[in-house]
Amino acid sequence: MTVSERMSNAGLVPVVVLENAADAVPVARALLAGGVDVMEITFRTAAAEDSIRAVAQECDEMVVGAGTVVTLEQCRRAVDAGAQFIVSPGYDDEVVAWCVEHDVTIVPGCVTPTEIMAAMKRGLSVLKFFPAGVYGGLSAMKALSAPFGSIRFVPTGGVNEKNCGEYSAAPFVHAIGGSWVCTKADIAAHNFEKITQLCKAARAAILGFEVGHVGVNCKDDAEAQAVCDKLTDAFSFPAKIGNSSNFSTDAIEVMKGCGRGVNGHIAIRTNKVSMAVAELEKR
């Protein structure tokens, strides 16, 4: 599985700021316990390089990357330390070209058509959208996805526990980035269990599992129609007639034959199908 696929399946790329490299592995393990196996350690502190190295050496199951990379020198140091991907706040062609040449996943910040086209020329399709809250959020990304349909964004900045589900449901969003699941304060206080619980809550919101509808099997068209008629008579539920099934409201599907299951099925709705499949395979 590629790094990009791991990001998408994680759904969330925590932006981690570490002042002390000794905290790197405990934070990584807290994220893993919360179901998140991708982390971005920012180059905003002197501890970044050693933190990346520690996670790369001690947490094989974690995909660790470097964030806030603004120079080629930082990029090289990060990769030498074990970073499996690079995230930059903006588009720097020198950094992007080096990463492409050395087969390192790079997610540069791109918020304009010009930047997106430059990234596409380098063969990139997953781009950071930062700061999302300032540059128009979902509406801006939706507008950009019209001419750039192959591009998927990783919005960061302005994404939080309240709107992460809404962001993740957008088809042009690859994953989301954020620091609310592992704040500097919680890291400093070694609130690792809290970090784990915040990750679990974030992933639950991103997945957005809920009951879509309940399916009831009938032997034929006539029986399906009779069931819908009874539901209409009893509860005034409107019926929508289809080819292979009828719907009594959007919540009850009445099959015109033996569909999925012996007696019927329960359809579960989710924001991200690929992420849901990966998650359910682990359960």
Catalytically annotated residue among 19, 61, 73, 128: 128
* Residue 116 backbone phi and psi in degrees, to 5: -65, -45
128 belongs to the catalytic site: yes
| Whole-angstrom distance, CA of residue 68 vs CA of residue 182 | 16
Tell me: pLDDT of 258 over 90: no
* Domains present along the chain, CATH in parentheses: 3-207 (3.20.20.70), 210-282 (no CATH)
Tokens of residue 125, six digits: 């399709």
Contact 91, 109 (CB under 8 A): yes
Contact 15, 159 (CB under 8 A): no
40 belongs to the catalytic site: yes
According to the model, what pLDDT value does residue 166 have?
96
Q: From the CA atom positions of the chain, what is the Rg in Å?
A: 23
**pLDDT per position as a tens digit, 18-63:** 999 999 999 999 999 999 999 999 999 999 999 999 999 999 999 9
Q: What is the pTM (predicted TM-score) of this model?
A: 0.91
